[in-house]
């Protein structure tokens, strides 16, 4: 649950629906809130039509369709398309069309981009890998707004790549959308490497890695867009990792590239593991 959006999952049977309604009513009584039935829908899986109609009558809700949107994000099993991200582009465009923004100076527009527009598109980037065309559209909106305000286009005085450099390097401290997209996925890699105790990490290790090391995993059919992008970034994150070996470390002896950005498995192969007498799961 986040803000006013909540997803509830249940079996499509009478007993489960009764329990769902009971819990929902208790929550409403305790919180003093009420349901907006115009925004509530029920989405079914492989459920008979008669059962669907019965449940919708009991809940007094309409049947919804997939894909759902949660906090404006489309919940899809495939990668997001440019069409899925139109909502983001429209929201960013709406933010700069407000009459109050027409009076902002250059520095005011810069602050508005940092506080509002960047935050809006970063929320999407943190939760999904966005198409390149969408990232380009986001940058175009911010670029045009920075130099011309909400009135249209104007020749820029410096390149966008320079604008997005840190202030210490002569830029304005904005960030490239592509870099933000990479950083968000690299954060997922870091969570896997450090074995962060989250449901997503546990699921990935059980269902995708299945005992394999992230560094040795090969790209294969059926991987999600996020995982394909994640595997493509392994070399980039490996080149920027510094391993601290000590009493509390738990890096993989054979699979982590802790020795000059290469793993012992990559250097020595399977025979070295066999000859050493150590487990493949040995840590240091």
pLDDT digits (tens, 9 = 90+) for 38-56: 888 899 888 899 999 999 9
pLDDT tens for each residue of 83-95? 889 989 999 988 8
Residues 39-48: contacts with CB within 8 Å, 24+ apart? 43/68, 44/12, 45/12, 47/12
Q: Is 166 exposed, middle or buried (0-12, 13-18, 19+ CB in 10 A)?
A: exposed
Query: CB of 171 within 8 A of CB of 159?
Result: no
Nearest to 138 by CA among 164, 167, 170, 165: 164
Which pair of structure tokens corresponds to residue 279?
Answer: 């487990």
Predicted structure pTM score: 0.77
Domain ranges of the chain: 14-65, 86-175, 191-276
Look up residue 177 and give its two tokens.
């959308």
| Residue 1 pLDDT greater than 50, yes or no | no
Categorise residue 79: left if φ over 0, alpha if ψ from -120 to 50, beta otherwise: beta
pLDDT digits (tens, 9 = 90+) for 185-244: 999 999 998 888 899 999 999 999 988 888 888 888 888 888 999 999 988 888 888 777
């Amino acid at each position: 649950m986040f803000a006013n959006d909540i997803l509830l999952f249940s079996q499509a049977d009478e007993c489960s629906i009764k329990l769902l309604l009971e819990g929902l009513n208790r929550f409403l009584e305790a919180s003093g809130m009420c349901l907006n039935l115009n925004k509530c829908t029920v989405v079914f899986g492989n459920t008979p039509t008669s059962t669907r109609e019965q449940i919708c009558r009991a809940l007094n809700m309409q049947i919804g369709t997939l894909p759902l949107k949660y906090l404006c994000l489309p919940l899809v099993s495939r990668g997001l398309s440019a069409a899925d991200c139109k909502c983001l582009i429209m929201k960013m465009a709406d933010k700069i069309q407000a009459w109050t923004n027409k009076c902002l100076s250059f520095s005011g527009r810069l602050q508005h981009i940092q506080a509002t527009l960047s935050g809006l598109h970063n929320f999407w980037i943190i939760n999904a890998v966005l198409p390149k065309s969408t990232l380009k559209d986001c940058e175009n909106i911010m670029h045009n707004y920075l130099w011309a305000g909400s009135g249209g286009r104007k020749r820029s005085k410096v390149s966008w790549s320079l604008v997005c450099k840190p202030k210490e390097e002569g830029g304005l401290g904005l960030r490239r959308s592509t870099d933000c997209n990479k950083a968000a996925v690299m954060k997922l890699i870091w969570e896997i490497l450090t074995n962060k105790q989250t449901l997503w990490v546990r699921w990935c290790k059980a269902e995708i890695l299945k005992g394999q090391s992230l560094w040795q995993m090969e790209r294969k059919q059926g991987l999600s867009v996020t995982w394909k992008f994640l595997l493509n970034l392994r070399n980039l994150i490996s080149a920027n990792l510094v391993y601290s070996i000590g009493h509390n470390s738990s890096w993989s002896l054979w699979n982590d590239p802790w020795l000059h950005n290469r793993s012992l498995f990559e250097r020595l192969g399977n025979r070295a593991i066999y000859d050493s007498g150590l487990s493949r799961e040995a840590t240091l």
